Structure 1
Amino acid sequence: MNETSGFSINGYVMALLVLPALQIATVLWLLTWQGGLVALVAIILVAVLWPGFFMVQPNQGKVLTLFGSYVGTERRTGLRWTIPLFMRRTISLRIRNFESARIKVNDNQGNPIEIAAIIVWSVTDTAEAVFEVDNYESFVTIQSESAVRHMASSFPYDPRDDEQSEVALRSHPAEISASLQEEIQARLARAGITVHEARISHLAYAQEIASAMLQRQQAAAIIAARAQIVDGAVGMVEMALRKLADDQIVELDDERKAHMVSNLLVVLCGDKAPQPVVNSGSLY
């Protein structure tokens, strides 16, 4: 069921017709007690028409129904008047947001993680929000958490070492947010809800493996740093040997080159500052 425009007219125009009739009837009935049939008809008319007035606030919709049948939605703001028999239900069209609860789920590698998300949403079709689901606010909350759980189990927490371009929860926030928004929107479209934004607000390994995973991350960082240091050190040694040969500063045989390379690598790759040793004799 899709939203349609409901019947209503400007409430101020209608009030110009109802209020004078009410005033005339009141004066005739209360002061003279001789209003007769005219006053009685005016009072009955006012009593029948008065319940048709209602107010529509900005970013708000009124869903109109007649004996259980949907007759339309009024979004025009201000004082409105409609048929008094129409039942009116107020639906907020304002943008709302909420943070899902922190849930524990396994990523696609089987690691238990904790995850939560912030979802920004609003009602765009009042008819679907009212008639397609029992409680659209509860529907948004439950389906959003279900989408977060499904999305978290579809991606790894960290990209694998052999697949650096793999989309992961921690390393690709933009791609994960887009995927999460599409997942939630697909679930909430039937309820007339539009998801404006969905982002992860909390992401961490579960407590039972957090310590081990921290050590793993530290080890991976150390290995990556060491690999970069070794690459730089080898380049510097190669440059030093080439520079010595090009400038003809000293001629080194293979054994001396090996000794020099060993010393340079120890100096460049060591964790601590090297202690110089002065050799006052021959190299041999």
Structure 2
Amino acid sequence: MTISKERPAATYNGYLLLLAALVLAGWVISRFISFAASGPSLLGVISLPVSALLLLLIAFGFFMIQPNQGRVITLFGEYCGTERQAGLRWVWPWMGKTRVSLRANNIHSERVKINDLRGNPVEIACNVVWRVADTAQAVFDVDDYRSFVNIQIEAALRTVGARHPYDDMSEEDETTLRGSADVINAELQAELNDRLKVAGIVVDEAGLTHLAYAPEIAGAMLRRQQAEAVIAARRKLVEGAVTMVEMALNQLSAKDVVHLDDERRAAMVSNLMVVLCGERDTQPVVNAGSLYQ
């Protein structure tokens, strides 16, 4: 496929041509008034149609360009360049003038159901900010560049979503869709820029706006996440309890409060761990006898 490349178009200042058209229109009107007053002359009969034709020629060549817009100029199907200068411009009337917006466009994609790296069905959507960088490619190298952008957004979402798991189920530190938002967004933007460069489109920003397990597995995954949260909380609780028991035994020995043999130390550790790790309030038992009763 031949890749088009944008180049400047040869257009003319429309304000100067507008001034010329007004002068020519005044001359044509004055000729009509002169004909009505003194009758036609040979010079007037020849010059008046020519002047009127020239006036029409100038009038149909004007076109307006708004800020951040461009006009792709063609001559009988041949690309003649792109005019980006805002204001009133003029070209020959038989040249085509296709309007192309150079402003930033914002697209919020539909939710797409994909399978992540581990095969779990996931619903995903994104927001993309894009603009036309090369008008020649946007007009001539793809059929409809706006529709092309929409389709490539969905394709890029499927590609990036399939490269990573939704969540990290292992102990390894890996990139996930849920936990590595900056990495996923940068990867999605790079994927879109690579896909859309054929249409002269540049993606300025891309980011996920929706990410969730598909409804058919959402309940099971929620229970798994709850179990992981409980396990993490228990692990933290046990680590704290072990530290507190160790501190208690060390301080009792250092201050010579009580001397315990191995059996009694084990019993004390067991009781402290039950008290510190239990979910319910413990009921103390007062020992009114000796240490070993």
Please indicate, yes or no, whether the TM-score normalized by the shorter chain is above 0.5: yes
Deviation by residue 1:7-37 (Cα, 9 ceiling, x = unmatched):
1121111111121111211231256343422
CA shift for structure 1 position 209: 0.5
- In structure 2, the partner of 1:234 is 242
Of the three residues 12, 15, 19, the one matched with 1:9 is 12
- In structure 1, the partner of 2:123 is 114
Of the three residues 116, 122, 141, the one matched with 1:132 is 141
Task: Give the gaps of 5 or more residues in structure 1.
Answer: none
- Aligned-partner Cα distance in 2 for 1:93–1:276: 77
Contact 1:157 / 1:169 at 8 angstroms: preserved in 2? yes
TM-score, normalisation: structure 2: 0.94
Deviation by residue 1:180-237 (Cα, 9 ceiling, x = unmatched):
1111111001100000111111100000100000000000111011111111110111
Q: Following superposition of structure 1 onto structure 2, how do residues 44-193 of structure 1 map, counting pairs within 5 Å? A: 44-163=53-172, 165-193=173-201
- Aligned-partner Cα distance in 2 for 1:271–1:132: 68
Letter in 1 for 2:25: L
Deviation by residue 1:225-258 (Cα, 9 ceiling, x = unmatched):
1111111110111111111111111111111111
- In structure 2, the partner of 1:25 is 28
- Aligned-partner Cα distance in 1 for 2:280–2:48: 105
Q: Following superposition of structure 1 onto structure 2, how do residues 249-260 of structure 1 map, counting pairs within 5 Å? A: 249-260=257-268
Q: Could you say what the CA RMSD is over the residues aligned between the two structures, in angstroms?
A: 1.1
TM-score, normalisation: structure 1: 0.97
Deviation by residue 1:125-144 (Cα, 9 ceiling, x = unmatched):
00000000000000000011
Contact 1:56 / 1:77 at 8 angstroms: preserved in 2? yes
- Aligned-partner Cα distance in 2 for 1:83–1:47: 11
Q: Following superposition of structure 1 onto structure 2, how do residues 268-279 of structure 1 map, counting pairs within 5 Å? A: 268-279=276-287
SS class of match (1:153): helix
SS class of match (2:97): strand
Give the 4+ runs in structure 1 shifted more than 6 A.
Answer: none
Letter in 1 for 2:15: Y
Task: Give the gaps of 5 or more residues in structure 2.
Answer: none
CA shift for structure 1 position 58: 0.6
Identity of paired residues, percent?
51
- Aligned-partner Cα distance in 1 for 2:198–2:120: 33
Letter in 1 for 2:167: D
- Aligned-partner Cα distance in 2 for 1:85–1:260: 100
SS class of match (1:211): helix
SS class of match (1:116): strand
- Aligned-partner Cα distance in 2 for 1:84–1:240: 95
